């Protein structure tokens, strides 16, 4: 094999005239090496930098390569491990083939096009045009999706020289050798090895096929030899069955033991072709009531999904990048990975085999099956079938893979566009499921569902495959995290014989955006900010619901790493989906990473959360720690603050006072004799200056005159609301909603949110005299005449029968009320009591009195 990594010349776009010819002058093009993509999508920041490139279109590659002389009768193949998205290939000016699909390996027999012993020209047109009606990618899956399809030769390319008789290289990019274990006991494993042969020569060849199984020390433990009469210009399957005595099982993370199967094609004793493939001997089963089992033992699957992008690299990543991703996931305690939403690199599956990860492999049937919500075209179905066949055959021998997933959220388009007609992807899913079972009946098929019950009349897709994973974002796009458990129980009861899991759940998390209380108000899921603490809270609550349901076949977090989507301008990033547990560049592990490490990993863990929230808004805070210790101790500025138990691997110290300036916070614990310690430094304001609370808001604000208001916290009850509900902006279909504007406000941001209902504030304060100022604005004109409530400070009535609209002279107008208080026992208590309607407040200011 000759790797074609260097010496390529590249140009994006431009006139195609003459580009494929030998006389074309490409010296002005950029010289690049493989892997290569022209796309660079996703950054941390609010506007794109000059390095950003989300261009769709055509990229041209040209390579002059010396092709060595080949033996008479030999054949030469050109192999590409992946090209995004449609690839056309020319050799010496002749078109040798086209491949449609961005994720799989493909090969062309270029024997008749090359001139051995001299320089030859290879030209590749890589086309990642955005799918649309009439586009070159109109009938190539995926048609849509919340990720970016990179253009270019983003995996390696190579030349392969073979005998005219060979182990078939034209079998959908597969290895030509397919290994399975139809019967496994403690005493023996039956190992089925199917070898596909091809003879390009016109005459018959008398050959032999020798199959050997070796253990991890390279010792032969089983062998088989058979004679084959391979007809001229023909193909032939050679099935063999070997017996492996007392097999050592591939047992996930505990013991990912691998044998090697070697198939040699011999001509009178001379090896003319040789293929080596992994063998992991294992059995597995999905059960609707007990979940997943491996080798007869129940194994709760907990893991995450992964996209293949890197900051600054796009999809052009290295084997070292793959290895680092897997190591990060293993550190967190992951034992299963969902390959979203397409076929990943061979290095990825090889690493998963060796690590013992249980894999969900997925074909890129995502989002929609047409552009008009009509039935999918036959050309699209055919492309889906080809990409699924490539996925299965190229990865058939990886023991880590247990699920072939046939699609993801294929009916979400009508939901997003608020259409009243259902999606029509059911037929294509059934075709793909049937094909997957034909190609590999030994594995389960899966489907990731987003939208059952979302639209009246929507076809049910949950029961098409063997296993259904539900993509559900309770606490983020809708509902509350605790709703997840109820939903799962409903689905389990609806489909009592079908294994189910959670294939996506999560929330966005900005590295530079923080809140003092994730319950303080609604989150702007389609915009900014996305506080890191809110992401952690959603995961804490979601995992609690899933961990209590052993019938789940698996759970896969969305997503392990932040990844590109040029549909998004959210959190503290541009063109990134920030639901990752680790940053796009893999340099920062978010707080929630350590939550799962404490839950899933056996490695001793102790981690102070909210550590990036350095400049604090309040002189008092809760200290939260993720740990798999039973208890931990806290000290602040060298003073002991006590011990806390760590139920559900979360240790909490409430209302911890901080001094003005820098505070060193240290936690210590011991796990099985291992001493652990973690520390952070937080900067706090002076408690003597009081507090300022922005009610109903997840984040604070600093006013033009320098007054800093912290996010809503210290409350009990009520509901945080925003004046103008968050919308998806240009991505949302539907009529415009009138924007409410507050009049009479020097700082309108103080009134953009409010707390409403029956609620109380319990604000830790130094004892003494203080002055309280409450800010109000009636947000709802329909309640302006009737809303009345009272406010108590401790036992004293400070506001009675208060109507904010009447006091302000109308709705959407500001008004303040001020009163002195005396704080005793270190706590200011403010009660908001409804009378003629729910109480509300927009901001609370407590200053020295």
Just list the catalytic residues. Answer: 409
Cβ contacts of 193 within 8 Å, gap of 6 or more:
177, 178, 179, 211, 224, 239, 240, 241, 242, 261, 263
Cβ contacts of 394 within 8 Å, gap of 6 or more:
104, 105, 172, 173, 174, 175, 343, 346
Q: How many angstroms separate the CA atoms of 632 and 245, rounded?
A: 50
Count of all residues that appear for the chain in the document: 849
Cβ contacts of 187 within 8 Å, gap of 6 or more:
245, 246
Q: How many angstroms separate the CA atoms of 29 and 60, rounded?
A: 10
Strand order across the 119-127 sheet: 30-32, 8-12, 58-66, 119-127, 86-91, 94-100
Nearest to 779 by CA among 723, 735, 737, 718: 723
**Token reading at 537:** 């809270």
Strands (E), 450-529: 467-471, 500-504
- The H or E element containing residue 320 is helix 319-332
Between strands 839-841 and 555-557, the pairing is unpaired
Nearest to 390 by CA among 104, 597, 130, 812: 104
* Angle 388-393-398 from CA coordinates, rounded to 5°: 110
Between strands 250-251 and 255-256, the pairing is antiparallel
Nearest to 367 by CA among 349, 358, 380, 382: 380
Q: How many angstroms separate the CA atoms of 45 and 618, rounded?
A: 26
Burial 182-218, CB ≥16 within 10 A → b, else e? eebeeeebbbebebbbbbbbeeebebebbbbbbbeee
Q: How many angstroms separate the CA atoms of 355 and 257, rounded?
A: 9
- Bridge partners, 663 (sequence order): 682
**Token reading at 150:** 């990179």
3-state DSSP helix/strand/coil % of the chain, to nearest 5? 15, 40, 45
DSSP secondary structure letters along 24-59 = ---TTSEEE-SS--S-B--EESSS--TT-B---SEE
Q: Three-class SS string for 334-390?
A: CCEEEECCCCCCHHHHHHHHHHCCEEEEECCCECCCCCCCCCCCHHHHHHHHHHHHH
Instruction: Assess contact for 509 and 534: CB atoms under 8 A.
Output: yes
Burial 123-156, CB ≥16 within 10 A → b, else e? bbbbbbbebeeebbbbbbbbbbbbbbbbbbbbbb
Q: How many angstroms separate the CA atoms of 357 and 336, rounded?
A: 5
Q: How many angstroms separate the CA atoms of 665 and 672, rounded?
A: 24
Cβ contacts of 273 within 8 Å, gap of 6 or more:
162, 163, 165, 166, 167, 264, 265
CB atoms under 10 Å from CB of 614, counted, come to 12
CA distances from residue 663 to 132, 305, 635, 636 in whole angstroms, order as listed: 56, 37, 10, 7
3-state SS assignment for residue 174: coil
């Amino acid at each position: 094999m000759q790797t074609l990594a260097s010496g390529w010349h590249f140009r994006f776009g431009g006139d195609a005239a003459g580009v494929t010819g030998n006389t074309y002058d490409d010296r002005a093009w950029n010289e690049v090496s493989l892997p290569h993509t022209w796309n660079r999508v996703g950054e941390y920041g609010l506007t794109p930098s000059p390095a950003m490139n989300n261009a769709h279109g055509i990229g041209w590659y040209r390579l002059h390569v010396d092709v060595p002389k080949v033996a008479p009768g030999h054949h030469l193949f050109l192999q590409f491990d992946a090209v995004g998205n449609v690839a056309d290939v020319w050799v010496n000016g002749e078109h040798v083939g086209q491949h449609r699909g961005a994720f799989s390996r493909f090969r062309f027999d270029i024997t008749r096009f090359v001139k051995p012993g001299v320089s030859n020209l290879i030209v590749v047109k890589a086309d990642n045009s955005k799918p649309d009606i009439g586009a070159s990618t109109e009938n190539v899956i995926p048609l849509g999706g919340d990720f970016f399809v990179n253009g270019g030769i983003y995996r390696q390319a190579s030349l392969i020289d073979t005998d005219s008789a060979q182990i078939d290289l034209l079998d959908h990019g597969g290895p030509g050798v397919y290994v399975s274990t139809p019967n496994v006991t403690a005493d023996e494993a039956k190992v089925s090895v199917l070898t596909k042969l091809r003879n390009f020569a016109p005459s018959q060849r008398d050959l032999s096929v020798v199959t050997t199984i070796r253990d991890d020390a390279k010792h032969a433990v089983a062998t088989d030899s058979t004679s084959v009469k391979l007809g001229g210009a023909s193909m032939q399957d050679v099935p063999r069955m070997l017996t492996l005595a007392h097999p050592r099982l591939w047992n996930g993370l505990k013991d990912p033991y691998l044998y090697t199967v070697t198939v040699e094609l011999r001509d009178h004793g001379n090896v003319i072709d040789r293929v080596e493939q992994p063998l992991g001997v294992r059995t597995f089963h999905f059960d609707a009531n007990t979940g997943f089992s491996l080798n007869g033992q129940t194994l709760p699957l907990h893991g995450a999904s992964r996209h293949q992008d890197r900051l600054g690299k796009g999809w052009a990543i290295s084997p070292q990048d793959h290895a680092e991703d897997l190591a990060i996931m293993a550190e967190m305690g992951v034992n299963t990975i969902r390959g979203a939403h397409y076929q990943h690199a061979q290095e990825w599956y090889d690493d998963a085999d060796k690590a013992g990860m249980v894999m969900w492999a997925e074909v890129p049937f995502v989002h929609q099956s047409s552009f008009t919500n009509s039935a999918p075209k036959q050309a699209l179905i055919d492309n889906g079938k080809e990409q699924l066949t490539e996925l299965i055959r190229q990865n058939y021998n990886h023991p880590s893979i247990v699920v072939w997933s046939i699609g993801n959220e294929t009916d979400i388009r009508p939901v997003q566009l608020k259409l009243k007609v259902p999606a029509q992807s059911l037929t294509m899913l059934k075709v793909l499921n049937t094909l997957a079972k034909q190609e590999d009946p030994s594995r389960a098929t899966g489907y990731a569902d987003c939208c059952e019950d979302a639209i009246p009349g929507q076809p049910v897709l949950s029961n098409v495959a063997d296993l259904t994973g539900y993509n559900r974002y309770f606490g983020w796009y809708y509902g509350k995290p605790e709703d997840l458990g109820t939903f799962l129980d409903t689905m389990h009861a609806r489909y009592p014989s079908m294994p189910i899991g959670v294939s996506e759940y999560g929330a966005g998390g900005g590295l530079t955006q923080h809140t003092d209380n994730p319950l303080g108000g609604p989150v702007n899921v389609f915009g900014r900010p996305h506080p890191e603490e809110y992401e952690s809270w959603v995961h804490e609550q979601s995992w609690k619901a899933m961990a209590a349901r052993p019938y789940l076949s698996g759970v896969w977090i969305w997503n392990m790493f932040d990844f590109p989507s040029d549909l998004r301008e959210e959190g503290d990033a541009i063109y990134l989906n920030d639901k990752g547990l680790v940053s796009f560049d893999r340099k920062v592990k978010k707080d929630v990473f350590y939550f799962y490490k404490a839950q899933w990993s056996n490695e001793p863990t102790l981690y102070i959360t909210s550590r990036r929230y350095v400049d604090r808004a309040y002189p008092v805070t809760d200290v939260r720690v993720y740990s798999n210790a039973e208890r931990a101790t806290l000290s602040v500025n060298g003073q002991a603050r006590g011990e806390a138990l760590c139920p559900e691997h979360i240790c909490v110290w409430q209302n911890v006072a901080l001094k003005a300036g820098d505070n060193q916070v240290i936690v210590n614990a011991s796990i099985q004799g291992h001493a652990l310690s973690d520390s952070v430094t937080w900067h706090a304001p002076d408690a003597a200056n009081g507090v300022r609370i922005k009610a109903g808001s997840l984040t604070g604000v600093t006013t033009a005159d320098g007054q800093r208001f912290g996010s809503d916290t210290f409350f009990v009850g009520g509901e945080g609301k925003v004046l103008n509900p968050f919308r998806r902006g240009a991505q949302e279909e539907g009529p415009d909603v009138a924007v409410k504007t507050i009049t009479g406000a020097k700082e309108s941001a103080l009134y953009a949110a409010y707390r409403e209902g029956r609620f109380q504030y319990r604000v830790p304060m130094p004892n003494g005299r203080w002055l309280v100022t409450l800010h109000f604005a009636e947000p709802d004109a329909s309640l302006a005449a009737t809303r009345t409530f009272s406010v108590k400070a401790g036992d004293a009535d400070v506001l009675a029968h208060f109507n904010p609209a009447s006091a302000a002279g109308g709705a959407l107008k500001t008004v303040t009320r001020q009163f002195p208080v005396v704080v005793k026992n270190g706590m200011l208590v403010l009660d908001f009591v409804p009378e003629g309607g729910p109480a509300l407040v927009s901001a609370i200011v407590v200053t020295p009195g």
